[in-house]
Protein backbone atom coordinates (compact mmCIF):
# COMPACT_ATOMS: atom_id res chain seq x y z
CA UNK A 1 0.00 0.00 0.00
CA UNK A 2 2.71 2.47 0.96
CA UNK A 3 4.67 1.69 -2.17
CA UNK A 4 1.64 2.42 -4.40
CA UNK A 5 0.96 5.76 -2.72
CA UNK A 6 4.63 6.69 -3.04
CA UNK A 7 4.45 5.98 -6.77
CA UNK A 8 1.32 8.14 -7.07
CA UNK A 9 3.06 11.00 -5.25
CA UNK A 10 6.10 10.60 -7.49
CA UNK A 11 3.86 10.69 -10.58
CA UNK A 12 2.16 13.88 -9.33
CA UNK A 13 5.53 15.53 -8.69
CA UNK A 14 6.74 14.52 -12.16
CA UNK A 15 3.54 15.90 -13.71
CA UNK A 16 4.02 19.18 -11.83
CA UNK A 17 7.63 19.36 -13.08
CA UNK A 18 6.46 18.88 -16.66
CA UNK A 19 3.74 21.49 -16.22
CA UNK A 20 6.23 23.94 -14.71
CA UNK A 21 8.64 23.37 -17.60
CA UNK A 22 5.84 23.91 -20.11
CA UNK A 23 4.76 27.13 -18.41
CA UNK A 24 8.33 28.42 -18.41
CA UNK A 25 8.43 27.97 -22.20
CA UNK A 26 5.31 30.12 -22.56
CA UNK A 27 6.43 32.93 -20.25
CA UNK A 28 7.89 36.12 -21.60
CA UNK A 29 11.10 37.58 -20.25
CA UNK A 30 10.83 39.69 -17.12
CA UNK A 31 11.17 43.46 -17.43
CA UNK A 32 14.48 43.29 -15.55
CA UNK A 33 15.88 41.08 -18.33
CA UNK A 34 17.15 42.56 -21.60
CA UNK A 35 14.87 42.75 -24.64
CA UNK A 36 14.83 39.51 -26.63
CA UNK A 37 17.03 39.59 -29.76
CA UNK A 38 15.13 40.02 -33.04
CA UNK A 39 15.85 36.48 -34.27
CA UNK A 40 14.43 34.91 -31.10
CA UNK A 41 11.48 37.31 -31.19
CA UNK A 42 10.65 36.26 -34.77
CA UNK A 43 10.71 32.59 -33.72
CA UNK A 44 8.42 33.39 -30.81
CA UNK A 45 6.06 35.20 -33.16
CA UNK A 46 6.07 32.22 -35.54
CA UNK A 47 5.32 29.80 -32.67
CA UNK A 48 2.40 31.88 -31.43
CA UNK A 49 1.05 32.31 -34.96
CA UNK A 50 1.25 28.56 -35.63
CA UNK A 51 -0.60 27.90 -32.37
CA UNK A 52 -3.27 30.42 -33.41
CA UNK A 53 -3.61 28.74 -36.82
CA UNK A 54 -4.04 25.40 -35.03
CA UNK A 55 -6.83 26.86 -32.86
CA UNK A 56 -8.53 28.38 -35.92
CA UNK A 57 -8.35 25.02 -37.71
CA UNK A 58 -9.91 23.22 -34.74
CA UNK A 59 -12.65 25.86 -34.52
CA UNK A 60 -13.39 25.55 -38.24
CA UNK A 61 -13.49 21.77 -37.96
CA UNK A 62 -16.03 21.99 -35.12
CA UNK A 63 -18.17 24.31 -37.24
CA UNK A 64 -17.90 22.24 -40.41
CA UNK A 65 -18.82 18.99 -38.66
CA UNK A 66 -21.63 20.66 -36.74
CA UNK A 67 -23.20 22.27 -39.79
CA UNK A 68 -22.87 19.03 -41.76
CA UNK A 69 -24.57 17.05 -38.98
CA UNK A 70 -27.20 19.45 -37.64
CA UNK A 71 -28.04 21.53 -40.72
CA UNK A 72 -27.30 18.75 -43.24
CA UNK A 73 -25.15 21.08 -45.38
CA UNK A 74 -22.50 19.79 -47.75
CA UNK A 75 -18.87 20.34 -46.75
CA UNK A 76 -18.27 23.49 -48.85
CA UNK A 77 -21.40 25.21 -47.51
CA UNK A 78 -20.41 24.12 -43.99
CA UNK A 79 -16.92 25.58 -44.48
CA UNK A 80 -18.39 28.80 -45.84
CA UNK A 81 -20.86 29.12 -42.98
CA UNK A 82 -18.24 28.25 -40.33
CA UNK A 83 -15.74 30.74 -41.74
CA UNK A 84 -18.24 33.57 -41.78
CA UNK A 85 -19.51 32.84 -38.28
CA UNK A 86 -15.98 32.44 -36.88
CA UNK A 87 -14.88 35.82 -38.23
CA UNK A 88 -18.06 37.57 -37.11
CA UNK A 89 -19.56 38.21 -40.54
CA UNK A 90 -22.79 36.39 -39.81
CA UNK A 91 -24.76 33.51 -41.29
CA UNK A 92 -25.48 33.14 -45.00
CA UNK A 93 -27.77 30.11 -44.95
CA UNK A 94 -31.01 29.99 -42.98
CA UNK A 95 -31.18 27.24 -40.39
CA UNK A 96 -34.46 25.33 -40.74
CA UNK A 97 -34.45 22.85 -37.85
CA UNK A 98 -34.38 23.54 -34.13
CA UNK A 99 -31.17 21.54 -33.66
CA UNK A 100 -29.47 23.48 -36.48
CA UNK A 101 -30.55 26.78 -34.93
CA UNK A 102 -29.29 25.72 -31.50
CA UNK A 103 -25.94 24.59 -32.90
CA UNK A 104 -25.61 27.79 -34.92
CA UNK A 105 -26.35 29.88 -31.83
CA UNK A 106 -23.84 28.11 -29.61
CA UNK A 107 -21.22 28.06 -32.36
CA UNK A 108 -21.67 31.82 -32.84
CA UNK A 109 -21.19 32.41 -29.09
CA UNK A 110 -18.12 30.18 -29.04
CA UNK A 111 -16.76 31.85 -32.18
CA UNK A 112 -16.94 35.33 -30.71
CA UNK A 113 -14.86 34.34 -27.71
CA UNK A 114 -12.52 32.11 -29.76
CA UNK A 115 -11.80 34.80 -32.37
CA UNK A 116 -10.95 37.44 -29.78
CA UNK A 117 -8.80 34.99 -27.81
CA UNK A 118 -6.94 33.87 -30.91
CA UNK A 119 -6.22 37.47 -31.88
CA UNK A 120 -4.88 38.05 -28.36
CA UNK A 121 -2.56 35.06 -28.81
CA UNK A 122 -1.24 36.45 -32.08
CA UNK A 123 -0.69 39.99 -30.78
CA UNK A 124 0.60 39.17 -27.29
CA UNK A 125 4.29 38.80 -28.29
CA UNK A 126 4.15 42.10 -30.21
CA UNK A 127 2.47 44.00 -27.36
CA UNK A 128 4.85 42.47 -24.81
CA UNK A 129 7.91 43.46 -26.85
CA UNK A 130 6.61 47.00 -27.30
CA UNK A 131 5.90 47.39 -23.59
CA UNK A 132 9.25 45.82 -22.71
CA UNK A 133 11.12 48.25 -24.99
CA UNK A 134 9.21 51.22 -23.56
CA UNK A 135 9.98 50.06 -20.00
CA UNK A 136 13.68 49.67 -20.82
CA UNK A 137 13.73 53.15 -22.36
CA UNK A 138 11.99 54.60 -19.27
CA UNK A 139 14.57 52.94 -16.99
CA UNK A 140 17.45 54.38 -19.06
CA UNK A 141 15.95 57.88 -18.87
CA UNK A 142 15.46 57.60 -15.10
CA UNK A 143 19.11 56.55 -14.66
CA UNK A 144 20.27 59.55 -16.72
CA UNK A 145 18.10 61.88 -14.60
CA UNK A 146 19.68 60.64 -11.34
SS (H, E, C) 99-110: HHHHHHHHHHHH
Q: Is the pTM of this model over 0.85?
A: no
Q: pLDDT (tens digit, 0 to 9) for every residue of the chain, 146 residues total?
A: 455 555 555 555 555 566 556 546 667 777 777 888 899 899 999 999 999 999 999 999 999 999 999 999 999 999 999 999 999 898 899 999 999 999 999 999 999 999 999 999 999 999 988 888 887 666 666 666 65
Nearest to 122 by CA among 53, 35, 61: 53
Residue 17 lies in a domain: no
DSSP tag of 74: -
Q: Is residue 40 part of a domain?
A: yes
How far apart, in whole angstroms, are the C-alpha atoms of residue 122 and residue 93? 30
- The domain containing residue 111 runs over which residues? 36-145
Query: Which CATH number covers residue 72?
Result: 1.10.287
Amino acid sequence: MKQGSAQKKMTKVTQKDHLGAALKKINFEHNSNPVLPVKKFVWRLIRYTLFAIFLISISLLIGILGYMYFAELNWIDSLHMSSLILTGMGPVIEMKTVSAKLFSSFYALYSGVAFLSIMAIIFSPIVHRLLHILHVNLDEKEEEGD
